[in-house]
Structure 1
Amino acid sequence: MIVRIMGEGQVQLDDSHFVELNKLDDELLEEMESGDSAGFRSTLHALLAKVRELGRPLPDDALEPSELILPAPDASLEEVRQMLSDDGLIPG
């Protein structure tokens, strides 16, 4: 799956990693619902770091359609809330 982190670029991520990423996504959703700003910020950074770690960066000149778009590391709680689906940021 092609994943874009806003403001950073794209990575190719194997579907097998989504179980691990969904755990962080669920944690992020809980923190957003409870208004835990510090926890939200920490978990968002952990989620993006894990995507960077597990993904293979695509060249900057690659024009692949992104199947998943994740917020920038400095996105606000409200900006992330607007990006959410029923499943959170990551489907599944």
Structure 2
Amino acid sequence: MIVRIMGEGQVELADSHFAELNKLDDQLLAEMENGDGPGFRRTLHSLLDTVRSLGTPLPDDALAPSELILPAPDATLEEVRDMLRDDGLIPG
């Protein structure tokens, strides 16, 4: 699956990693619902760091459609809230 981190680029990520990412996504969603700004920031960075470490970066000139779009590291709680689906940022 191709994942885009807004403002950074794309990485290719094996579907087998999505269970781990969904745990972080659930935590992020709970922190947002509770208004936990510091927790939200930590978990967002942890989610993005995990995607970066498990994924393989695509070249900047690659023209592959992104199947999943994640917020930039400096995104606000409100910006991320606007990106959410019923099940968080990551489907499943």
Normalization by structure 2: what TM-score? 0.99
Return the offset for 1:21. Answer: 0.3
TM-score, length-scaled by structure 1: 0.99
One-letter identity of the residue aligned with 1:71? P
Over the matched positions of the two proteins, sequence identity in percent amounts to: 80
Question: Cα deviation per residue 1:3-46 (whole Å; 9 max; x = unaligned)?
Answer: 00000000000000000000000000000000000000000000
**1:28 alignment partner, SS class:** helix
Three-state SS of the structure 1 residue aligned to 2:39 is helix
Gaps of 5+ in 2: none
Distance between the aligned counterparts of 1:67 and 1:79, measured in 2? 19
Map 1:14-53; keep pairs closer than 5 Å: 14-53=14-53
Distance of 2:74 and 2:29 partners within structure 1: 17
Offset at 1:57? 0.3
| 5+ residue gaps, structure 1 | none
Output the aligned Cα RMSD: 0.3
